[in-house]
Structure 1
Amino acid sequence: MNPIENISQQFAAHKYKLTRQREAIVQVLLDNEKEHLSVEEVYMLVKNSYPHLGLATVYRTLELLSELHIVEKMNFGDGVARYDLRDDTHAHMHHHMICHVCGRLEEIKDDWLLDLEKRLEREYGFTVTDHRLDFKGTYGTCKHTGCKRDKEKKAV
């Protein structure tokens, strides 16, 4: 089953319709899966296909996708809400490394916290249903030599 069909079924299960506009928003997220787009970025990209689509519709759709656990709403400390599609092949969200110098964000797909989750359940009777871990720091290339992105920022 392709991702759009899967998401359409998730909408139907909650008595919502995946309209053409909502589908266009989902497609933008699929096409830019590694980008962690903000509402404004989604809006600018979907506007190419639907020029009359309003920013408020994008906000509402992303909030609905978040409520339905199709996307994860995240904030990486810059005050901007970003959206990331959830991956059905993993029980939890993936983790991130975020560089404070250049802002580069990399995903870690491995779930390093399974042993901790089992321990929490065993010792406290607490069942973890989801988690997210963000590592903030500096890449070696940024720390020692200055990174390309940092140089580009200064040039602007």
Structure 2
Amino acid sequence: MEHRIERIKKQLHSQSYKLTPQREATVRVLLENEEDHLSAEDVYLLVKEKAPEIGLATVYRTLELLSELKVVDKINFGDGVSRYDLRKEGAEHFHHHLVCIECGSVEEIEEDLLGDVEKMIEGQWDFQVKDHRLTFHGICRVCKKAAVTTNSTS
């Protein structure tokens, strides 16, 4: 974890920002809960345990700054709540998600599935792609299995 914090600190410094104690507490919470796709409120509640003096506005500002600097990605899974996802080390693009419309689970796809699509867009539309994100909404394997089990016992 310390290695990643040091890397984020360097990213901030390269853009003339400091890794203040409040920012570091926020980054640590994101690192510790990397799989959870936390909302700003979730981050705030967890940061508050580490730094009781921190305010919600500070956490929001920190998350927005980290988003602008591409340390985190701000995502919305269609439920009206912005969530924050740390960019993977060395990731050229945002990773993709599978969102279950039954149970709300979120699964990540680390592979970049859109390389060929980007080339096509750049070629046909003369559009320079800087980033992309892809979210599939459907029914996860657990919910599908539960539905099959329910239907076969009915």
Report if TM-score (shorter chain) is over 0.5: yes
**Equivalent position SS for 2:131:** coil
Query: Counterparts of 1:45-60 in structure 2 under 5 Å?
Result: 45-60=46-61
Partner in structure 2 of residue 131 of structure 1: 132
Runs (5+) with no aligned partner, structure 2: 148-154
1:94 aligned residue:
95
Q: Deviation per CA, 1:101-140, whole angstroms, max 9, x where unpaired? A: 1000000001111011111222222221100000001124
Opposite residue 93 of structure 1, the aligned amino acid is F
1:144 deviates by 4.9
Partner of 1:103: 104
Q: Structure 2-normalised TM-score?
A: 0.89
What is the one-letter code of the residue matched to 1:108?
Answer: I
Partner residue in 2 for 1:154: none
| CA displacement at 1:76 relative to structure 2 | 0.6
Q: Which runs of 5+ in 1 are unaligned?
A: 147-156
Cα separation, 2, equivalents of 1:106 and 1:24:
26
| SS of 2:49 mapped into structure 1 | coil
Pairwise CA distance, 1:30: 0.7
Report whether the alignment pairs 1:122 with 2:123.
Answer: yes
AA matched with 1:70 = V
Please state whether the residue corresponding to 1:112 is helix, strand or coil: coil
Task: State the SS of the aligned residue for 1:2.
Answer: helix
The aligned residue for residue 153 of structure 1 is none
**2:70 corresponds to:** 69
Aligned ranges 1:31-50 → 2 under 5 Å: 31-50=32-51
Deviates more, 1:69-78 or 1:118-127: 118-127
Q: How many residues align?
A: 147
Q: CA deviation at 1:62?
A: 0.5
Question: How far apart in 1 are the matches of 2:124 and 2:101?
Answer: 36
Runs of 4+ in 1 over 4 A off after TM superposition: none
For residues 69 and 144 of structure 1, the distance between their equivalents in structure 2, rounded to whole angstroms, comes to 37
Scaled by the length of structure 1, what TM-score is found? 0.88
